[in-house]
């Protein structure tokens, strides 16, 4: 792009791979039609940023429209409709928030190639403001630049590297086994039918939230917190409520002047800050207990436990190495805790629903799991490796129901997307819900088929250029979700153990809503039965 110009000074000449070729534009249907028509007269020159299709220039009028039409709770559907109406790229200005939205893999690849050494995404300012007003340190989620990179590299060693995964996998496996035993006991106790063939229809979401928190805490602190008992602690139930409240109050605050709301004591800000206060106080209590437990051990005992393979959790590993200050350890452990409940419990709701209404797929997974488990000799890592359909299931669930519906980057240099000039520093969002359901990217996108992720072939249901940028639920590159390995393995182990039971969906379909994550409008009911 650089060093070239056309007679129109607002345009640049087309020399980058991010632009769509004319032939492909003419082949494109559906969401591409409007965008293709608007670009066929460019005569080889890149169009200016101002010519990108948009949803309205006045951010505050757009904000009122969002409130009236309830787009906040249906943002994923709004994005899907807007791509259908305006084409594969558009600008949006809502309140104080401005972005360029894209959905095609070729454009997403171009964006990520311009993310630089310190990738920058949208900062969740309400979260950052809470940390600043409460004098809390920020974890890597809210940091940028060299400070982010230094902390992130240290965290990666404990949560992302293969050696770390090998250490915490048995802890996740233990929780998943215990959960499924608890579930079976409940079916035996409360189910209907003959002895040995009882079935039970329930809303599993409260149990799934308890599972996710128990699993996260086991990995983070190296100890169980007892959420599967008949009387789980009210403290932990309040923590789950606080996370849900925090997620629900974040989206509107992204579009409003939250510091003004803070200044006037607006109820929305008060609810948000109170939820975060509870999250921090819960995490602080657990961290203090872990710190006291680990500090009370003589160094020789601590070293012996580590040498003997006894895992002390992410907290213990970070403390023993001493490369992060205690305040930074607290900040990052709290972020991992807050981000590790809904973001795994909710996809598991969707997974149970889809597997329940696709019994043939469920049976295929079950047979693969049983064969793999039999040959793994109790090794959860080997069992997962021998059952790739588990990972395929998680991939297809996160394609159809992405937890976070956008991945953002601010390119460090000017780029060209869909033949439009995008200046460096522009907030660009890859919109995952429309991407995952686009027939331009996936053949038969609404079909639930975990096998389509088991091959690199172009014939396995994948379409379009930039095909490496189709599965982005955990983000991409150096700035991908720091808890990715915990979440992926936690969900796969859950599905592995639950597959030893049969289950069916109670409802025929499921509607979704958006808070800060994608959720079922009402949790699906599932019927469980012992094999």
**Which segments of 446-500 are extended strands (E)?**
none
- Give residue for tokens 């992405």: 402
Please say whether the beta carbons of 171 and 218 come within 8 A. yes
481 marked among binding-site residues: yes
Rounded Cα gap, residues 401 and 398, in angstroms: 5
For residue 443, give Cα distances in angstroms to 181, 411, 447, 469: 38, 30, 9, 16
- Give residue for tokens 């345009």: 11
Task: Calculate Rg over the CA atoms of the chain.
Answer: 24
Which residues does residue 202 pair with via DSSP β-bridges, in sequence order?
526
Rounded Cα gap, residues 246 and 130, in angstroms: 11
Please say whether the beta carbons of 335 and 139 come within 8 A. yes
* 97 three-class SS: strand
Q: Exposure string (b/e) for 477-509, b if CB count within 10 Å is 16 or more?
A: eebebbbebbbbbbbbbbbbbbbebbbbbeeee
Is 375 exposed, middle or buried, given 0-12, 13-18 or 19+ CB atoms closer than 10 A?
A: exposed
Cα 43 to chain center, whole Å? 40
Which residues does residue 89 pair with via DSSP β-bridges, in sequence order?
102
* Residue of 460, 511, 240, 132 lying closest to 349 (CA atoms): 511
* Residue of 251, 244, 245, 246 lying closest to 75 (CA atoms): 251
* 205 three-class SS: helix
- Give the 3-state secondary structure of 384-442: HHCCHHHHHHHHHHHHHCCCCCEEEECCCCCEEECCEEECCCCCEEEEHHHHHCCCCCE
Q: Are strands 428-431 and 97-102 parallel, antiparallel or unpaired?
A: parallel
DSSP character at residue 20? P
- Give residue for tokens 């958006």: 514
Cβ atoms within 10 Å, residue 195: 7
Cβ atoms within 10 Å, residue 216: 26
Q: Are strands 89-94 and 512-514 parallel, antiparallel or unpaired?
A: unpaired
- In sequence order, what are the residues at sequence separation of 6 or more whose Cβ sits closer than 8 angstroms to the Cβ of residue 310? none
Residues annotated within the binding site for heme are 481
**Which residue positions form the known binding site?**
481
């Amino acid at each position: 792009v650089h060093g070239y110009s056309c007679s129109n000074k607002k345009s640049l000449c087309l020399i980058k791979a991010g632009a769509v070729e004319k032939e492909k534009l003419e082949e494109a249907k559906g969401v591409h039609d409007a965008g293709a028509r608007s670009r066929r007269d460019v005569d080889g020159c890149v169009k200016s940023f101002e010519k990108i299709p948009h949803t309205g220039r006045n951010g505050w009028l757009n904000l009122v429209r969002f409130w009236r039409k309830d787009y906040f709770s249906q943002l994923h559907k709004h994005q899907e409709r807007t791509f259908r109406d305006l084409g594969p790229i558009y600008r949006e200005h809502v309140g104080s928030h401005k972005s360029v939205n894209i959905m095609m893999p070729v454009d997403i690849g171009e964006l990520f190639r311009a993310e630089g050494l310190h990738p920058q995404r949208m900062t969740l300012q309400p979260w950052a403001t809470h940390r600043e007003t409460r004098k809390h340190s920020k974890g890597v989620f809210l940091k940028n630049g060299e400070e982010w990179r230094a902390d992130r590299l240290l965290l990666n060693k404990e949560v992302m590297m293969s050696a770390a995964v090998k250490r915490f996998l048995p802890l996740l496996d233990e929780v998943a086994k215990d959960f499924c035993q608890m579930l079976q006991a409940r079916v035996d106790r409360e189910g209907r039918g003959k002895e040995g063939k009882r079935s039970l229809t329930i809303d599993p979401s409260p149990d799934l939230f308890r599972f996710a928190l128990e699993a996260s805490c086991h990995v983070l602190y190296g100890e169980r917190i007892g959420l599967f008992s008949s009387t789980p602690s009210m403290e932990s139930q309040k923590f789950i409520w606080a996370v849900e409240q925090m997620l629900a109050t974040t989206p509107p605050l992204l579009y409003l002047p939250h510091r003004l709301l803070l200044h006037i004591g607006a109820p929305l800000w008060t609810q948000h800050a109170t939820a975060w206060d509870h999250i921090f106080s819960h995490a602080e209590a657990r961290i203090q207990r872990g710190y006291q437990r680990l500090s009370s051990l003589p160094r020789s005992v601590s070293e012996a436990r580590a040498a003997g393979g006894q895992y002390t959790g992410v907290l213990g590993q970070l403390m023993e190495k001493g490369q992060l200050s205690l305040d930074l350890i607290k900040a990052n452990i709290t972020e991992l805790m807050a981000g590790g409940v809904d973001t795994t419990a909710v996809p598991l709701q969707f997974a149970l629903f889809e597997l329940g209404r696709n019994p043939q797929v469920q049976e295929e997974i079950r047979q693969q799991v049983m064969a793999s488990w039999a040959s793994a000799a109790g090794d959860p890592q080997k069992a997962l490796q021998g059952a790739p359909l588990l990972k395929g299931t998680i991939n297809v669930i996160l394609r159809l129901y992405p937890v976070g519906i956008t991945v953002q980057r601010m390119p460090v240099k000017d780029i060209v997307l869909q033949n439009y000039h995008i200046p460096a520093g522009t907030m660009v969002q890859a919109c995952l819900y429309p991407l995952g359901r686009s027939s331009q990217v996936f053949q038969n996108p609404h079909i639930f088929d975990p096998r389509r992720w088991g091959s690199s072939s172009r014939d396995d249901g994948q379409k379009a250029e930039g095909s490496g940028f189709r599965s982005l639920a955990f983000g991409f590159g150096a700035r991908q979700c720091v808890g990715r390995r915990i979440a992926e393995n936690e969900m796969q182990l859950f599905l592995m153990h639950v597959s030893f039971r049969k289950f069916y969906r109670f409802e025929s379909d499921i509607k979704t809503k958006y808070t800060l994550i994608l959720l079922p409008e009402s949790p699906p009911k599932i019927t469980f039965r012992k094999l």
